[in-house]
Amino acid sequence: MAVRSMSGVGDERAVPSASIRYLDGSVRTVPFSRLRLADFAESGPWRQVRSVHGQRHYSGTYMSATTGGPVVYESRLELARLLLADFDPVVREIYGQPCHLVARFGDRVRRYVPDFLLVTRSGTARVVNVKPADRLADPKVAQALAWPRGLVERRGWEYEAWSGADPVMLANVRFLAAYRRPGVVAERDVHAAWRSVRDGDELAVAERRLAGGRPAHEVRPALMALLWAGQLVTDLSRPLSGDSVLRRCA
């Protein structure tokens, strides 16, 4: 376990630093160049996120299937990126507001809290900042994003400024996310669906075969659970329908 301290964020330091808040309430600050993915173990979000009636932003907590725990978000756009990260089979860790970065550039001290840190199964780290497309066109916003991008990329990590995705694909993923949690669909039903479906089946055909005379909607959740888990894939750039062609991914 990392050694932790109650140190401040180090606004006056010339060396760029990252502060991480842990679940026990402690804060650890390290030079950004020495930041490791292991430092995020048992960490929590930098800021507390609360939903208050009448607030301008849509914020909350999303229960991630990837991590098995909650991840915070502060807008509907952030929630959309979070859904896609949770659906992505190469992502193994998702941290919301993972740290507080501080760096001095010239005579100014700059601060930045990333929206997400994604860690892939290969160990690649990606820092994600979510901004609406119209704000990315703002020179001041572009300038504000430039310094953390440079800092992150010099560290050898990836940096992503994300402003949205194909709405049809996102709607499909949002629908499939209802089947993301273990136990939503009985495991035996999921196994039966996997044994029944054939590579190249249309969804309606797979449902009829699996239903065996029962109403198709009774077996549909098991197929949706397989799609969320990535055991089945289909073209999500088109609305999910009975015509969707299923492919098996062992």
Question: What is the distance between the alpha carbons of residues 46 and 202, in angstroms, rounded to a whole number?
Answer: 45
Fill in the amino acid letter for 137: A
Can you tell me the distance from the alpha carbon of 236 to that of 175, in angstroms, rounded to the nearest whole number? 11
Is residue 224 within 8 Å of 179, Cβ to Cβ?
yes
Do residues 95 and 109 make contact, with C-beta atoms less than 8 angstroms apart? no
- Per-residue pLDDT of 115-136, as tens digits, reads 999 999 999 999 999 999 888 7
Domains of the chain plus CATH, in order, are 44-162 (3.40.1350.10), 167-248 (no CATH)
90: its two tokens: 């190469």
97: number of Cβ within 10 Å: 23
d(CA 232, CA 246): 6
- What was the pLDDT predicted at 52? 58
pLDDT(66) > 60: yes
d(CA 49, CA 94): 16
Among 13-17, 113-117, 177-181, which stretch is predicted with the lowest mean pLDDT?
A: 13-17
Q: 146 or 30, which is more confident?
A: 30
Q: Is 75 exposed, middle or buried (0-12, 13-18, 19+ CB in 10 A)?
A: middle
**Per-residue pLDDT tens over the stretch 150-166:** 999 999 999 999 999 99
Residue in the structure block whose two tokens are 């035996």: 188
Q: Span 189-201, mean pLDDT?
A: 97
pTM above 0.85, yes or no: yes
Alpha-carbon distance values, 149 to 10, 28, 139, 154 (Å): 20, 22, 15, 8
